[in-house]
Each structure stands twice: as structure tokens, then as C-alpha cells.
Amino acid sequence: MSAVDDLFARLKAEGQKALMPFVTAGDPDVNFTASLIESLASRGCHICEVGIPYSDPIADGPVIQASYTRALDKHITLSAILEMLGKTAPQVSMPLVTMVSYAIVYRHGLQEYVRDAKAAGVAGLIVPDLPVEESDKLSGVCAAADLSLIQLVTPTTSPERTKRIVETSTGFLYYVSVVGITGERTTLPDELVDNVGRLREQTDLPICIGFGISRPEHVRMLAPVADGLIVGSAIVRQMAECEEKSADAVRGQIETYVGELLAALND
């Protein structure tokens, strides 16, 4: 079992749900990323998704795309990110998973990426541009290393592909709440709760919902049907303010924002 499996088994036993913030590695620099991860863990977040910047991101909206561009413009490297995670992971109790393009994994080498990620304390991979039909090799490498390979299901995924994704995913299922790209939204689809309920009938894996979640009312609406909620753009948008404010000030306001979401999760 990976650390992701252990986390969700514990939360289920305790009747709790997970809050999963997303942060871009290297925006504005790896030192800030490390300190933010530590702050999120100390605030009570349960698991953290760390985005590996990529020049052609899949499904990421303008906020996260801009964040990736800022990091790449400062010449962030995979080795620097893994080195930072290797120092940070032992300092926090929550598992860390990387959101990473398959192009990066392939270029680094499947065995090598999994080996280096594992050595850096990473507990799982989310690879949004890896089709389930082509995931067997990476799935096998991850399984051998006890790393979760977390795959995505969308509202338009066919029943046949959903079945295969459910059968090959480990750790948790990432349910994409809306058709389209990431980003903060005022409202979420009315059919979202029913969609997740139908998915629940097909798997015992934890289901975490992402895309568009940004408000306490979203958390209250989805917590009864989800095992975890993923919040990305609303956090990354605040990270961009490091260009105008001090790192301490931005980190503090993100802590306050996350505290509001955690309070809603426990309502």
C-alpha cells in the first residue's frame, strides 16, 4: 500500500474527508513552494498535489498555465523540484503527489521517474495526458514501487473507458467536475453529485473531485459524496501575488483561505 492508500484508509475509519491543495512547483521559487507545502500541512490539509511545470499543459486553465510559465521562465528543472520535495516530504505528515505530463515522465524514463520520485518522498502520480489504454507500463512500474497511479474520469468519459480506468487506477480516482479546463467557478453543475454517486457504484476506490472548487459552499455541497476535494486555481492565483506582496503575506493569506475550506469540510 502507498502512503495515499494509508491516508484514505485512516480518513475513512475516522469518518473524515480530505482537502487536497494544488501548488505549482517553483512559482515563484522552490523555497516558497517548500514553505507553502509545510504551511498547508500544518494548517491541516491532508494531501498535496504538486504541479510539475510544463510548456503545453493539458486541461489547465489560464491561472495554472500562467503559473507554469512563470516557473519555466525562471528555468525551473525537474531535478530541482525533486530535490526540494526530497527535503520537504520528511517534514510533513501529508502525502505528496505530482501532477506531471507524460512527456516529462517519458523523457526522464519511466523507471527513472518513478525511482527518483519515490526517493524524493512522492507517494503518487497524476498523469493527465496518459490514456488509460496506454497506461499499463507505467502502472506496472508504479505498482512495483508502491506508488499510486491516479487516473482521471470526466463527465464525458464513456462507461467502457470508466470501467477500465477504475480497474487500473490506484490511490484514488480523480473525478473532473466539469467539462473543460481548470479554474475557479461560481457554481458547479447540478448533476455533479449524481455523477459521482454513479461512479461510486463502480468502485471501492476513494473519489476526489477537482476542477472549479474554490468556495466553502462548494466544499459543503460535495463533501457528503466525495472522499476528497481538490483546490487548485484559487490557491495558484494567490501565489501569483508574490510579485507584489511578500512571500510571508501571500503564504498567510493562503493559510487563511485554506482554513475556511477546512472549516466547511468539517461542518
Instruction: Give the CATH number of the domain where residue 230 resides.
Output: 3.20.20.70
How far apart CA 23 and CA 200 sit, in angstroms, is: 27
Instruction: Domain of residue 227: give its range.
Output: 3-265
Judge whether residue 242 has pLDDT over 50.
yes
Residue 244's pLDDT is 84
State how many domains the chain has: 1
How far apart CA 73 and CA 70 sit, in angstroms, is: 5
Give the pTM: 0.92
Residue 151's pLDDT is 95
| Residues with Cβ within 8 Å of residue 198, at least 6 apart in sequence | none
Nearest to 128 by CA among 105, 94, 96: 105
The dihedral built from the CA positions of residue 212, 192, 226 and 219, taken in this order, carries a sign that is: positive
Residue among 60, 116, 184, 227 flagged as catalytic: 60
Quickly state the pLDDT bin for 57 (edges 50, 70, 90): low
Residue 178's pLDDT is 61
| Residue 120 DSSP class | T
Residue 147's pLDDT is 97
Instruction: Please confirm, yes or no, whether 60 is among the known catalytic residues.
Output: yes
Lowest mean pLDDT among 60-64, 170-174, 205-209: 60-64
Residue 184's pLDDT is 43
Cβ–Cβ under 8 Å, residues 207 and 226: yes
Mean pLDDT of 96-117: 97
Instruction: Please confirm, yes or no, whether 243 is among the known catalytic residues.
Output: no
DSSP-derived 3-state class of residue 257: helix
In percent, the amount of the chain with pLDDT more than 70 equals: 94
Residue among 5, 27, 49, 116 flagged as catalytic: 49
| Residues written for the chain | 267
How far apart CA 92 and CA 39 sit, in angstroms, is: 9
DSSP-derived 3-state class of residue 198: helix
Mean pLDDT of 140-166: 94
Residue 180's pLDDT is 44
Structure-derived torsion over alpha carbons of residues 195, 171, 121, 79, reported in degrees to the nearest 10 = -60
Cα→Cα distances 89→26, 94, 95, 96, 111, Å: 16, 8, 8, 7, 21
Residue with grid cell 492508500, as numbered in its chain: 5
Judge whether residue 243 has pLDDT over 90.
no
Predicted confidence (pLDDT) per residue in 24-42, tens digit:
999 999 999 999 999 999 9
